[in-house]
Amino acid sequence: MTSTEQAKQMAKRLRASLTERNQDITHSTALELVSHQLGYRDWNTASAALSKESQTQNNPAFERPIPILRMFEEAKAREFYLDFLGFTIEFEHRFEAHLPLYLGIDRGGLKLHLSEHHGDASPGSTIFVPMRNIEAFRDELLAKRYSYGRPEIVHQPWGKVMEVHDPFGNRIRFCQN
């Protein structure tokens, strides 16, 4: 990410470069142009956002976690996660043919990693997934007539919850407030 000081230096270099081409602009105009290039409305907006970013650069920052779930049979995992739940594959990894599979999947921003590697995760894990439009998701799943599950929504004090169980004992609790 660009800091306020870096943006000012960019504006200074832009102004010098244009001056060499007999196109003089003020420093404030150069700051406005750099702000637009960085995706901000104006210099005031850029300066505020970049200052805030630079204040937090040395603090720990966390991104969305990606749960790892244990699987034991690739075909069953694909049937459940891809065919039934509607995930798509982001990547597949094996160190060599016939070695355990490590699979990255995604659906609507929910990323999961499935692993056949012993020790990567404990069977019987539960993950809690906040979501929107839980009824539409339930209806989609029920329409697939999956032989091993017909999830329903349960109304709890904290929201609507729909739990699915994968073939390996893991549970995914989808919840809408």
Question: Which two three-digit tokens encode residue 29?
Answer: 């105009």
Chain centroid offset of residue 169 CA: 25
For the chain, residues with pLDDT lower than 70 are: 1-2, 53-58
Sheet containing 126-130: give its strands across.
126-130, 171-176, 159-165, 153-156
Chain centroid offset of residue 146 CA: 27
Please say whether the beta carbons of 177 and 159 come within 8 A. yes
What is the predicted pLDDT for the residue at 110?
96
Helix (H) or strand (E) holding 128: strand 126-130
Report, at the CATH architecture level, how domain 68-176 is classified.
Roll (3.10)
- Cβ partners under 8 Å of residue 41, min gap 6: 35
Distance, CA of 150 to CA of 154 (rounded, Å): 13
Chain centroid offset of residue 36 CA: 27
Please say whether the beta carbons of 15 and 27 come within 8 A. yes
Outline where the chain has alpha helix (H): 4-20, 27-37, 43-56, 74-77, 134-143
What is the predicted pLDDT for the residue at 172?
97
pTM of the model: 0.67
What is the predicted pLDDT for the residue at 173?
97
Please say whether the beta carbons of 148 and 167 come within 8 A. yes
What is the predicted pLDDT for the residue at 6?
86
Sign of the alpha-carbon torsion through 149, 169, 171, 87: negative
Tell me: the pLDDT tens digits for 138-157?
999 999 999 888 999 999 99
What is the predicted pLDDT for the residue at 82?
97
Tell me: the pLDDT tens digits for 86-98?
999 999 999 999 8
